[in-house]
Amino acid sequence: MATTPALRTLPSIQAPTGSTANPYGLQALWEQGDWVARTTLVILVIMSLASWYVLLTKLAAQSRMGGQGKHANQRFWAADTVRQGAETLQSGSPYRFIAESALEATRKHDGLIGQVDLNTWVTQSIERAVSTVHSRTQEGLAVLATVGSTAPFVGLFGTVWGIYNALVKIGASGQASIDKVAGPVGEALIMTAIGLAVAVPAVLGYNWLVRRNKVAMDTVRAFGSDLHTVLLAAGAKRDAAAMPAVA
């Protein structure tokens, strides 16, 4: 009678407990990377925070400027005089700044300045005030332009450094196994992705803010042009009233 062979005991398969951390993620990049990789990552984070700060603050400033423009169109032109209209405008408003600059030009028209025609002097004063407002609207945009143009290259530097580390490990181990190069290559790819993630919002935000600034400045220039016309008309009335009546 044949004997039944003994059954072999199979090893029990245990389900993995817990979750293992991604060896090629951001945490591994920070923990395993050298000081060059960490410095590059910190620079990209700082550039991203700076670009988002400028983007949000400029959007808030542009929204506030748009509200000030609507307020000026509703209240300023309903006043009896330019002085009364300027006092109805909000403090810190660019429209009030332009109105007060124009009024100051009409008051200080003596001495050497008195040799210049009043029309030319008022025109130059309003143009200088509009240029000052335009310069203020451009503040911070250089940060977005700088981040948008340099962040990809900073990320590319991190990529090159990661590939360099991969080659060093290959040379030190003498074999190009996947476990030797996966970490540095993954680090390089992450740096490239972060560089693009920082640059793209900065470029899009820059173009968007420039467009919104152009629309806002068109309203400001129109206000300055209308104010110039009103001041010249008021000056002509005063000159006509001061002329003696002809018998």
Q: Which of 242, 221, 194, 215 is nearest to 66 (CA)?
A: 215
pTM: 0.74
First vs last Cα of the chain: how many Å apart? 154
pLDDT digits (tens), the chain, 247 positions: 445 554 455 444 444 444 445 555 556 566 666 777 788 888 999 999 999 999 999 999 999 998 888 888 888 888 888 888 888 888 888 999 998 888 888 777 565 555 667 777 788 888 999 999 999 999 889 999 999 999 999 988 888 887 777 777 777 666 666 666 666 677 777 888 889 999 999 999 999 999 999 999 999 999 888 888 888 776 666 655 555 544 3
**CA 93: distance to chain centroid?**
21
Q: What is the C-alpha to C-alpha distance for residues 10 and 105, in angstroms, rounded to an integer?
A: 98
**Residue 162's CB: how many other CB atoms inside 10 A?**
26
Domain locations in the chain? 26-237
